[in-house]
Structure 1
Amino acid sequence: MSRSENGAAVPRRAPLNRERVLRAAVALADDIGIESLSMRKLAQELGVAPMALYKHVANKEELLDGMVSVIVAEVDPPLPGPDWKNAVRHRILSARQALLRHSWAPRVIESRTQAPPVVLDYMNSLIGMFLAGGLSADLTHHVMHALGSRMWGFTQEVFPTPQPPADPGMRAAMFRQAAERFPHIVAIATVGAHDDASSVGQGCDDQSEFEFALDVLLDGFERLHNEGWRSGVPGNRAAG
């Protein structure tokens, strides 16, 4: 405790360190959005001068790297045991939950030009799970390419679905026109559960779609492993 001019006890502020700066930045981005995050606003949130932050992070890019590290550290550790497929699934779905808590994180992860060590640790652990399950380094190389952003718990859709008009009549007219020109698209778009926040468009349950695709990939990896798949062998399409 310190004392104010009138002698009243004043709680001592926690010392500023790198971890406190990064965690405050993550919380602030959750609150105001990553686009609005700035060193000035972060300094205000911490009650310090902006220059005090630069003792702990060199610049905004280093701050973002550190924020990614904080989020990746929230991912559950690997499950013990020989069931590599379940262990990988659990780890990736845990990563998904971490990124859902911080909706801005996928954009920041994709924007990194160099992976922070904790990100490399996470990727290394996933690779280790496949190798421990008996998959060859050759197959695991292609597995990591196939997983793509899904290893982090998110996917990027190639064609975003436009929001339909709020007016019922206009919405019905839009669907009629779409059904005439794109009947097969409409056929699959009008089935399934609904999730308004889905990254794959209305009419899709984003969590179910993510798990479906993840399971299809994991089943395929297991089949290739059991068949003794090797790159460069006639009949195998992937070569590099």
Structure 2
Amino acid sequence: MTDRAPLSERRIIEAAAAVADRGGLTAVSMRNVGKELGVEAMSLYHHVANKEALLDALADWVFSSIELPEIGAPWQEGMRRRAVSARDVLARHPWALTLIESRGNPGPALLRHHNAVIGCLRRDGFPVRLAAHAFSVIDAYIYGFVLTEQNLPFDTTTNPADFATEIAPPPADYPYLAELVTELITTPDYTFTAEFTYGLDLILTELENRLPTP
């Protein structure tokens, strides 16, 4: 029988993430995290001050899981890779979006993340104000898309034709909506998830158009 790995802040945070994955943020408590690790809750306080500190660290863990754009690399590729990575992380952990939007104590991973995004834009020609606009609109798009995905009444990774058929409106009353539903039903390879990259490309293209001429 091997000895159990010693407690560390990293292990505690990862255990908290596992608890949240199964039961949501409301399930994250010092007792439940301790149970996840097979220890008493009091043992956690040697590494994490309290539950609020644990939630701050968990929010920072989310940002540490997102791929950072490389400062000095082409900005479009950096923003695209970062956006896709952020969307994937937030989709894997449905509680993460609520958490990162609610914490007011930025950790080192969040600060590195933000610095990398801004640095990638600035080093590739973005004025400070346009970099701020770009960061804001891209994140608003990522977060909004993830929130929509989490609340759709069908599996976003499969063809939503069956659901579309169920809700198909009368064409005589709602001709344009019925036209859209029909188009989705008759397009066998359509998935809602594909809308993410399409919309992201629209944003990146418009940002490119707004860059000042070198």
Structures share fold, TM-score greater than 0.5: yes
Structure 1 residues 47-86: aligned runs within 5 Å: 47-79=38-70, 82-86=73-77
Amino acid at match of 2:5: A
**Paired AA for residue 175 in structure 1:** A
Aligned counterparts of 1:103 and 1:152: Cα–Cα separation in 2:
11
- What is the aligned partner in structure 1 of residue 114 from structure 2? 123
2: CA distance, partners of 1:145 / 1:97: 19
Percent same amino acid at aligned positions? 33
CA distance in 1, matches of 2:144, 2:3: 40
Which of 8, 16, 28 matches 1:17? 8
Cα distance 1:175–1:188, how it changes in 2: closer, same or farther (>3 A)?
A: closer
Within 5 Å, which residues of 2 pair with 1:211-230? 211-226=197-212
Higher relative contact order (CA 8 A, sep 6+): 2
Matched, 1:185 2:177: yes
**Aligned position for 1:134:** 125
Q: 1:135 to 1:70 in 2, by over 3 A?
A: same
Aligned length: 201
Q: 1:193 offset after TM fit, Å?
A: 7.6
Offset at 1:127? 0.9
What SS is found at the alignment partner of 2:193? helix
Say which structure is richer in helix. Answer: 2
Identify the residue that residue 39 of structure 1 maps to in structure 2: 30
Please tell me whether Structure 1 or Structure 2 has the larger radius of gyration of its CA atoms: 1
CA 1:111–1:180 in structure 2 vs 1: closer, same or farther (change >3 Å)?
Answer: farther
Q: Which residue of 2 aligns with 1:175?
A: 168
| Residue number in structure 1 paired with 2:137 | 146
Q: Which moved more, 1:179-188 or 1:66-75?
A: 179-188
TM-score by length of 2: 0.77
Distance change >3 Å, CA 176–CA 211, structure 1 → 2: closer
Query: What is the CA distance between 1:153 and its match in structure 2?
Result: 8.9
Native 8 Å contact 2:69 2:78 kept in 1 = yes
- The aligned counterpart of 1:209 is 195
1-structure distance, mates of 2:185, 2:52: 39
Distance 1:107 1:193 in 2: 33
Q: In 1, are the aligned partners of 2:71 and 2:123 still within 8 Å (CA)?
A: no
User: Is contact 2:72–2:123 with CA below 8 Å preserved after alignment?
Assistant: no
Q: CA 1:76–1:162 in structure 2 vs 1: closer, same or farther (change >3 Å)?
A: closer
Partners of 2:124 and 2:57 lie apart in 1 by 31
SS in 1 for 2:126: coil
- Unmatched 5+ stretches in structure 2: 155-161
C-alpha distance in structure 2 between counterparts of 1:176 and 1:154, whole Å: 24
**Offset at 1:138?**
1.6
